[in-house]
Structure 1
Amino acid sequence: MTATPSQPDTPTGGRTPCGVTVRRGSALRDALTLALLPLPLLLAAVPAAFAGGGTKRWFGGRGESQRADAQAAKDAAAAAFYELDTAQRDLRISVETIGAVDPSPAARRAQEEFVALGQRIDDVSHFYIEAVDAHDLDRDDLEASVASQARTQLTRAKDDLVRVRQELDRFQRGLAPLLDQAETQLARLAPAVERARQALLAASQALDTAREAGLRADDLAARLAALGPELTKLNQGAGQHGVQETLHRADQVLRDAEAIRAEAERLPERAAEIDRRLVSLRTRAQALTTRASQVEPVLSELRRRFSAACWQDLQPVPQQAAESVQQAEAKLREARTAREAQRWPDATALLSTVRSLLNSTDEAVSAAGDRLRRLNEVAEDPQQEVERTRFAIRDAQRLAMAGRHTPDPRHAGPLDASVARLDRALAGLEGRHPDYWHFLTETEAVRTTVAEVVSHIREERGAG
């Protein structure tokens, strides 16, 4: 504040001899003291006079060195703490990755070791934080001994942090194989889930195409709808269901969806194939009806020319053929109804039944004509059948003696019995009414026995 002329000059305020207004108290005394000091002392005192009130305690020499050393130890410990914290965070991600993917004992041990290592990290970190909090290195009145103590504690904290960081590095190196395997599994995860989704989409599109062609495909639609919950779980991700389970689910959904798509794409062809089989089997049934009507004349000739033993087993053929054809035609009508209702599995099964009925009927009808043909041939020249059988026996005997002076009894016995059996069959043709059918079945049985002996000989020699 500026003094007015009416103010008296007092010890606490007033004008200087130069007419400058001065403040009361210590500021005036300080100024007067400076004015009375010799010049060298005045220059030394000037910085203190402009300190703005109060003074700062300054260290010199060893004190400042101790503060600097303590600060350097603090900075080094802070750097070690930061590096350890960063390494621990990075490693935690790796361990969690392994835990999410790998359920093996090795992975569980790695997680347990990481927990124990984390406890040691917490211990050294706690010591570091306590050392930092215990010492304020920026204090004006910091003692040299306190700075030295701070440097010692912070250096120890830094050493502990570095030591545990080295343990962390060693653990990380040992974790590399497990981490590589886990990352490989994770690398499979996203593509596997995407393939499953695309397969479901393709199956849905194939069903739409089939419906546009007039094919309902209700069973395929139901199978596709059943995969909906699985898709929901895939969308929820491995975080909720685990990597291994998600991979397995993606593979299963992929297979099921691809099967649905393939069947949906084949539906038009399947329908056309069933239509063709319906026509073909109906034509075949009609043809068998005609052929079955021709069996009776064949049987009549067999009864007239040969003994009863040659044709008795064929007597039921005409009736059985007629019944089988009727059954086949009834199944064909059921198959047509199933096809119109688009019950494809039922239609396919019924057509298979029709085919089996017609095959057995065809064999029975053909057997009558084949019996007559073979009986005619053997009645005209039985020696041809005998020679055919004797040739098979001699060929087997040569094979049995190859590289041997005497035959193996296991081979010689059946071959000798076959010769005797053939002779008996030939002798059975003598008389007024020879059983040519018995003769033919006996020669065929002999050839079958000989073929079995030959097969055994070759198997033994191949093994030797």
Structure 2
Amino acid sequence: MTATPSQPNSPMVPCAPHPPRLTAPRRPPGALRDAVTLIGLPLLAALALPAAFAGGGTRRWFGGRAESQRAEAQAAKDAAAAAFYELDTAQRELRISVETIAAVDSSPAARQAVEQFAALGRTIDAASHHYIEAVDAHDLDRDDLEASAAARARTELTRAKDDLDRVRRDLDRYAADLGPLLGKAETQLARLAPAVERARQALLAASDALDAARGSGLGADDLAARLAALGPELTRLNEGAGRHGLPQTLERAERVTREAEAVRAEAERLPERAAEIDRRLVTLRTRAQALTTRAGQVEPVLSELRRRFTAACWQDLQQVPDQAAASVRQAEQKLAEARTARAEQRWADATGLLSTVRELLNGTDEAVSAAGDRLRQLNAVQKDPEREVERTRFAIRDAQRLAMAGRTTPEPRHARPLDDAVARLERAVAGLEGRHPDYWHFLTETDAVRRTVTRVVTEIREERGAGQ
């Protein structure tokens, strides 16, 4: 028997010597078994391959309708998974927008949008639950998956995908309607960071200005207290709009900025304010001393008035000397209090006291001046009363010409007060007759007549200006 060559990659079998022997050589039994074993290994390995692919955790491959249904079900599962992922992503992105609107806008439209998103969320949860149930109900990797089971899986997964797509379309429509509210919210959010930063910078500038004022030896305890009161407000700003709401945070930032800038301005002005208070203390003290001297001169003026004119001309001035002296004393007391407040660096108190001193001195100045002015006026009218009469008559005639301009008869509402003014002037002139005329009454009457005439002239001009 001739030996055949072995196959490639198989164990080598020794060839028979040439020429072949007619009878096979005898081999030991063990060697024969080894040869049979070596020759049979490739054959056994080949026979074992199909079994290896069929078992050991691998799928048996079925042909025909079952595998086609399995593939379609798997495609439906993949499509549903993609729809689920896209819907979840869209919902997450939109939730950020809705939370932004809720934090910024408290209007009815914003509250309705938040409620609609919550309702959409419940619909999304239901569709997602349906999808997850469909996935869990069908194992498409089973070896014994039947065609009918694969068809059911495809149907349910397709339905789940359709539900997810329908909800996604609802979500897209909601997102489109949300655009105006979101734009408004984003506009307000864009204001937040700059507003908060301005507040921080204003607080820092106020703190620096306060330190500079204190460094120059000026006390600023009230400003320091106002600045310290803004500390909790800065803490709330740092906590953010998510906790306190955007409108409230914006309003707080603006208020902190405004108050901090006020503190900074006052701290920067503090040296100038101190110098101004010092100047006013000196000026008002000098003025009080001068008024004391002038008040002492009122009594001689009153004596002359009493001697030359009737009581009606000077009776209202009788209390001027006493009132002037009392006012000056009160002003000097307030000046002493203002100096104490300045020494203690109570700037607001010092400023208020100095304002009181100025008012007291102004009133005293007017009262003291009234006596001298009265005497000069009475001297002038006593010397030449006709001058006052002509001055008043001129004003009346000028008003009468204006009332008649462009008319044949004047308006009654203009003519009547002018006629009354003429009669009043005549009575005032008649009052000068006699041994002791009341010149002061005469002066007050002519002054009142001129004021009436001035009022009529103003009315005429306003009416004609409006008519043009």
Q: TM-score range by the shorter chain?
A: 0.7 to 0.9
Match of 2:178, SS state, is helix
Q: How does 1:396-435 map to 2 (within 5 A)?
A: 396-435=399-438
**Structure 2 segments unaligned to the other structure (5+ residues):** 1-28
**One-letter code aligned to 1:206:** A
Residue 8 of structure 1 corresponds to which residue in structure 2?
none
Write the distance in 1 (CA, Å) between the matches of 2:181 and 2:51.
Answer: 71
Write the distance in 2 (CA, Å) between the matches of 1:93 and 1:443.
Answer: 81
**One-letter code aligned to 1:205:** D
Is 1:86 aligned to 2:89, yes or no? yes
Residue 218 of structure 1 corresponds to which residue in structure 2?
221
Contact 1:66 1:147 in 2 (8 A): yes
201-210 vs 268-277, which deviates more? 201-210
CA separation of 1:59/1:307 partners in 2, compared to 1, >3 Å: closer, same or farther? same
CA separation of 1:59/1:368 partners in 2, compared to 1, >3 Å: closer, same or farther? same
1:20 Cα deviation (Å)? 5.1
When normalised by structure 2's length, the TM-score is 0.86
Residue 120 of structure 1 corresponds to which residue in structure 2?
123
Contact 2:54 2:60 in 1 (8 A): no
Is 1:386 aligned to 2:389, yes or no? yes
User: What per-residue deviation string (whole Å, max 9, x for no partner) do you get for residues 398-446 of structure 1?
Assistant: 2222333222222222211111111111122222222222211111111
The one of 48, 51, 61 equivalent to 2:50 is 48
**One-letter code aligned to 2:445:** E
Residue 163 of structure 1 corresponds to which residue in structure 2?
166
Is 1:209 aligned to 2:212, yes or no? yes
CA separation of 1:141/1:355 partners in 2, compared to 1, >3 Å: closer, same or farther? same
1:462 Cα deviation (Å)? 4.1
Contact 1:16 1:22 in 2 (8 A): no
Percentage identity across paired residues of the two chains = 77
Residue 360 of structure 1 corresponds to which residue in structure 2?
363
1:135 Cα deviation (Å)? 2.0
Is 1:184 aligned to 2:190, yes or no? no
Is 1:439 aligned to 2:422, yes or no? no
1:268 Cα deviation (Å)? 1.2
Write the distance in 2 (CA, Å) between the matches of 1:401 and 1:16.
Answer: 159
CA separation of 1:17/1:56 partners in 2, compared to 1, >3 Å: closer, same or farther? farther
The one of 16, 19, 23 equivalent to 2:34 is 19
**One-letter code aligned to 1:144:** A
Write the distance in 1 (CA, Å) between the matches of 2:326 and 2:137.
Answer: 108
Contact 1:15 1:21 in 2 (8 A): no
Write the distance in 1 (CA, Å) between the matches of 2:409 and 2:379.
Answer: 41
Write the distance in 2 (CA, Å) between the matches of 1:72 and 1:308.
Answer: 121
Write the distance in 2 (CA, Å) between the matches of 1:406 and 1:140.
Answer: 122
Write the distance in 1 (CA, Å) between the matches of 2:401 and 2:257.
Answer: 61
169-178 vs 311-320, which deviates more? 311-320
Is 1:299 aligned to 2:302, yes or no? yes
CA separation of 1:161/1:442 partners in 2, compared to 1, >3 Å: closer, same or farther? same
Contact 2:102 2:110 in 1 (8 A): yes
The one of 311, 314, 320 equivalent to 2:314 is 311
Q: How does 1:117-266 map to 2 (within 5 A)?
A: 117-266=120-269
152-161 vs 47-56, which deviates more? 47-56
Is 1:341 aligned to 2:356, yes or no? no
1:274 Cα deviation (Å)? 0.8
**One-letter code aligned to 1:74:** K
Write the distance in 1 (CA, Å) between the matches of 2:281 and 2:446.
Answer: 42
Match of 2:139, SS state, is coil
Contact 1:15 1:22 in 2 (8 A): no
User: What per-residue deviation string (whole Å, max 9, x for no partner) do you get for residues 229-282 of structure 1?
Assistant: 222222222222222222222222222222222222211111111111111111
**One-letter code aligned to 1:250:** A
Aligned length: 438
